[in-house]
Each structure stands twice: as structure tokens, then as C-alpha cells.
Amino acid sequence: MRELNYNHLYYFRAVAHEGSLTRSARRLHLSQSALSVQIRKLEERLGHALFERRGRRLHLTEAGRIALDHADAIFASGEDLVATLNETGVSRRVLRVGALATLSRNFQIGFLRPVLGREDVEVILRSGGSAELFQALASLQLDVVLVNQAPARDALTPFITHRVAQQRLSLVGSAAEVAGDADLATLLARHPVIVPTPENNVRMAFDALVDRLGVRPQIAAEVDDMAMIRLLAREGSGLAVVPPIVIKDELDAGHLVEAAQLPDLAETFYAVTVERRFPNPLVHELLSRDEQDFL
């Protein structure tokens, strides 16, 4: 049996993480044609195509994903060996996390808290839209993606969705705004509200609630970013529809108060992974906690 050429595997791994022959060749100080030859030789050795081209980018095939899993494990073991023999201390593990750009920062910190500040862990946190994050997860560039809406699952993208936390929603504003108004229907009738955009599940549930109450609230702003909703509430632009975790600091400091809970309304937080032969053990460590530990 012919042995595997690890130079070929190294070049493949670089291209797989970069997603581009041109950028990888530039970083590796090789010509693009020379790099292509190295990849082709590895494909011939393994008997499978490792990449397929979609537009201008290279995407891993199923065989490519398996090969990258092995490549990452092999080169991580090499880094551990060097660290051990050079007595450079504990080798560091990398956790690559994607988070929806509009997701609560407080929830993200709560999710990552057990690994933050650890000498043996490096956290790479990437924010963006759901499409790009799930694409990165499917191509094994991320270990886990944090979202507040579960993705669709199909045969081509076998996502595993873990419900990690759920928090009720409240109507939140300044103490001066809500003084004397204890009834939810009265609050909604008297004050403008700051709500998520219509495509958000929270917004759909809120619209159903006000319809049941027979109230037509004045919409002060529709915002898809929880951080911006928090800032608008602090500015006194209206009462915000948010889970308390989003404005935890403001509640603790007394800048905002919880005027009323919204019955049967909650925001759910998910951690999404993908089926892998070699899953990152740090992800399992984070997901094995109780729900309250995330909030």
C-alpha cells in the first residue's frame, strides 16, 4: 500500500480552509498551477474528488469534508507533539463559533463563558447572516453556529439543532415612561413600541398577542438587531419587546425596568452543529450544561 504524501494533505487543508486556490497559492508562495497539481495528486491517491467549483469558490465534496476532518486532526496532533517536546506548556485547542449578527451579545457570552480565558482554548468568534454562517458550518469552517431560529434540515445539509435556552419576553422601558401603567393592554395602547422585524418569530407571536388583546399599538421602530433595540429603549424611543437577557445590564443598573411580561411569548436560542466524524470536544462540553447556565 502506498503511503499518503503529507505535503499534498497540507496543501489540501490550506485550500479547504481558504476556499480559493488563488489566495492559498499566494499565502503558500506557490503558483496556482503547482498547487492544483498537488491537490490533484491527493485526489488520485484517495480515489475521490475533494472539491467542486461553484462560481468562483471551491466547495468541499463529501469526501473532501472527511479528508479535512482527518487533516485537521493530523496536523493538530503534530502541533501537540511540538508543544510537548518543546515544553511550551499546554497545547491550545481552537473553537470556531459563528453567531447571528443580530443575536444577543449577553447570550453569546453566557454560552462561551466556560471556555473564555482558558489558557488551553482559543475562541474564534465570527458573526454574520444565517446563510453564510450555515455555509461555513456545512464546509466545516465552523464548529457551531448560534441562532434564534432553527434552520431547515435536509439530506445535503444534515444540521443538528440543539435548543440550549429559552427566555420569556417582556415589555421594557424607562421607569418614568411606565409609572402607574400596570396593565399590559394599557401599556400597549398608551406607549409606542420597539419591535423586531416582521420575519422574526418573536414579531409574529407579538402581532398575534396584540390581536387577541384587541390593541393596535403604535410601532416606533422595527429593528432586526437586539443591540439596537436595547439602545433605542435606553433613549426613551418606546417600550421594547425583548427577552430580559438582552438588557440585563440596564435592568441591573435601573436604567430600564420590566413593565410587563408578555404571556406565552419567548425567544429560543439554538446551537447548530453538523454531523462530523471528528466533532470538536469543546462543543460537547458547552452543550452539556443546564439551560440556566446559558443565560
Residue 294 has a pLDDT of: 65
Q: What is the mean pLDDT of residues 235-243?
A: 89
Long-range contacts of 287-295 (CB under 8 A, 24+ apart): 287/162, 287/164, 289/114, 291/164, 291/165, 291/166, 292/165, 293/110, 294/107, 294/110, 294/111, 294/164, 294/165, 294/269, 295/107, 295/110, 295/165, 295/167, 295/245
pLDDT band at 1 (very low <50, low <70, confident <90, very high): very low
Q: Are 22 and 32 in contact (CB under 8 A)?
A: yes
Residue 150 has a pLDDT of: 86
Residue 155 has a pLDDT of: 61
The answer on pLDDT for 232 being more than 60 is yes
The answer on pLDDT for 292 being more than 70 is no
Residue 163 has a pLDDT of: 93
- Domains delineated in the chain: 6-74 (1.10.10.10), 88-164+270-294 (3.40.190.10), 166-268 (3.40.190.10)
Cα three-residue angle 85-90-95, rounded to 5 degrees: 125
pLDDT in tens, 118-167: 888 889 999 999 889 998 888 888 999 999 888 877 666 679 999 999 88
Q: In percent, how much of the chain has pLDDT > 70?
A: 91
Going by C-beta distance under 8 Å and a sequence separation of 6 or more, which residues neighbour residue 37?
none
Q: What is the mean pLDDT of residues 272-284?
A: 86
Q: State how far the Cα of 86 lies from the Cα of 91, in Å rounded to an integer.
A: 11
pLDDT in tens, 155-188: 666 799 999 998 888 898 887 777 665 688 888 8
pLDDT band at 17 (very low <50, low <70, confident <90, very high): confident
Ordered DSSP codes for 176-215: HHHTT---HHHHHHHS-EEEE-TTSHHHHHHHHHHHHHT-
